[in-house]
Amino acid sequence: MGRPPVIPVEKKTRIVLSILAGEMTIAEAARREKVSEQSIGRWKADFLEAGKAGLAAGKSGPSTREQQLEAEVTELTQALGEAAVEIRVWKKSAEGRLGPSRTSR
């Protein structure tokens, strides 16, 4: 027996939602799409598990991407502060060698 046809995620989602809404059974969906009932059952289980994970992530706090961005902001803020200190040091050392600047009066 050959491999079942590749079904796009969007179509799998519509099928699972139809099953959850009671519009069709797993057996009906399997016959209609020419795949096994086990495949349809796995899609449904995967869909429900991902939904639970999504809801749990929403309650637990920021996403991984948000955490990455916050870490990057912290790192860039620190680098900016260090650069500002370096500029002040360079200005001070330049004033010592060249005398006070016209803008510092």
Sequence ranges of the domains in the chain:
9-60, 64-104
pLDDT band at 89 (very low <50, low <70, confident <90, very high): very high
| Cα torsion through 31, 33, 35, 39, rounded to 10 | -110
Residues of the chain with pLDDT > 90, as a percent, come to 62
SS3 30: helix
> According to the model, what pLDDT value does residue 95 have?
83
Residue type present at position 72: E
Q: Are 36 and 7 in contact (CB under 8 A)?
A: no
Helices 37-60 and 26-33 pack at an angle, to 10 degrees, of 110
